[in-house]
């Protein structure tokens, strides 16, 4: 059974669009152990549900997410042994994997700060919709840790290139919206104060489209990052053969023939 109440995040599902809001505005939505666990478990639940076709990840208040809570996480981890620290770091990585492996597009609506783990959550999304106030900072080296946290050293070079990724992960300096858009870290620049609205508009467009095609496109984009061309082409061929047996593929032909918009069913 789905969880009815989430303690550390806010969830709304309307018309196939799930909106997950980080809801600690007084702390710039800093993440706690509970918030990480809720995100991991919620994404798993939504991935099992056929009711969600797109997801918006947003932050309440002045910013998207300032990263891990300094007192509740950094302070607490100083008293943990290596085994417990490994469990914690694996859990944060599971959240990123859940975002990447979810069978629906994930859109990060970024305004204000997206720092540390918040920057990686946005990075893991399929789309980053941001307004001019957005600034990204991968702060891990600033606290004496590796910049390759939560999969950042895997994902960031694939989004902005190795040169930019090296600079951002090594130095931990903030990247403001104009530069973030220039290097490809922002997918869509919204007007000031309109990141959430623009993200919802994009989510509605995706949710109203061919969900099965979107799910398989996302899966192939992730799987083929590390494949040789021959294997990627073979996987593409197998996937297309399966989708050509889908109801949506037949529906497109029927709609084209009847000169009407297709009614996508995600089957």
Provide the residue-wise pLDDT of the chain in tens; the chain has 267 residues.
Answer: 778 789 899 999 999 999 999 999 999 999 999 999 999 999 999 999 889 999 999 999 999 999 999 888 988 999 999 999 999 999 999 999 999 999 999 999 999 999 999 999 999 999 999 999 999 999 999 999 999 999 999 999 999 999 999 999 999 999 999 999 999 999 999 999 999 999 999 999 999 999 999 999 999 999 999 999 999 999 999 999 999 999 999 999 999 999 999 999 888
- CA 159/CA 162 separation, integer angstroms: 9
In a domain, 202, yes or no: yes
Residue 104, both tokens: 């629906």
Does residue 219 sit in the same domain as residue 100? no
pLDDT for 49:
84
Residue entry with tokens 């309109």: 194
End position of a domain, from candidates 191, 208, 225: 208
How far is the CA of 224 from the CAs of 98, 183, 190, in angstroms? Answer: 17, 22, 30
In the sheet that 175-176 helps form, which strands lie side by side, from edge to edge?
113-115, 135-137, 175-176
In a domain, 1, yes or no: no
Does residue 89 sit in the same domain as residue 192? yes
pLDDT for 72:
87
- CA 87/CA 68 separation, integer angstroms: 16
Does residue 106 sit in the same domain as residue 200? yes
Does residue 200 sit in the same domain as residue 180? yes
Does residue 39 sit in the same domain as residue 81? yes
pLDDT for 1:
74
pLDDT for 5:
84
Q: Which domain holds residue 243?
A: 211-258
Buried b or exposed e, range 64-99, using 16+ CB within 10 angstroms:
bbbbbbeebbeeeeeeeeeeeeeebeeebbbbbbbb
Does residue 149 sit in the same domain as residue 240? no
| pTM score | 0.94
Let me know the angle formed at the C-alpha of 183 by 179 and 184, rounded to the nearest 5 degrees. 115
Does residue 185 sit in the same domain as residue 100? yes
CATH number of the domain that 42 lies in? 3.90.226.10
Structural domains counted in the chain: 2
pLDDT for 267:
86
**DSSP secondary structure letter of residue 105:** -
End position of a domain, from candidates 208, 224, 244: 208
Residue entry with tokens 């467009």: 205
Residue 166, burial from CB neighbour count under 10 angstroms (0-12, 13-18, 19+) = middle
Q: Which helix (H) or strand (E) holds 108?
A: strand 106-110
């Amino acid at each position: 059974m789905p969880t009815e109440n989430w303690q550390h995040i806010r969830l709304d599902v309307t018309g196939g669009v799930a909106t997950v809001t980080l809801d600690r505005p007084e702390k710039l939505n800093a993440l706690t152990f509970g918030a990480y666990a809720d995100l991991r478990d919620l994404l798993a639940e939504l991935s099992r549900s056929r009711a969600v076709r797109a997801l918006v990840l947003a932050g309440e208040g002045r910013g998207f997410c300032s990263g891990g809570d300094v007192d509740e996480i950094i302070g607490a981890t100083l008293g943990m042994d290596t085994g417990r620290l490994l469990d914690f770091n694996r859990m944060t990585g599971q959240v990123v994997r859940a975002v990447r492996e979810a069978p629906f597009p994930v859109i990060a609506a970024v305004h204000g700060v997206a720092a540390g783990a918040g920057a990686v959550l946005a990075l893991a999304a399929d789309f980053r919709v941001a307004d001019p106030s957005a600034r990204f900072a991968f702060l891990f080296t600033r606290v004496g840790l590796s910049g390759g946290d939560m999969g950042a050293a895997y994902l960031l070079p694939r989004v902005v290139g190795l040169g930019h990724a090296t600079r951002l992960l090594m130095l931990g300096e903030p990247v403001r919206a104009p530069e973030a858009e220039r290097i490809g870290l922002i997918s869509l620049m919204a007007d000031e104060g309109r990141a959430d609205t623009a993200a919802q508009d994009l989510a509605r467009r995706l949710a109203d489209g061919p969900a099965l095609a979107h799910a398989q496109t996302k899966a192939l984009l992730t799987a083929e990052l590390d494949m040789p061309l021959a294997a990627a082409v073979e996987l593409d061929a197998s996937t297309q053969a399966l989708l050509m047996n889908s109801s949506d593929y037949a529906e497109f032909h029927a709609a084209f023939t009847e000169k009407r918009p297709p009614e996508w069913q995600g089957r």
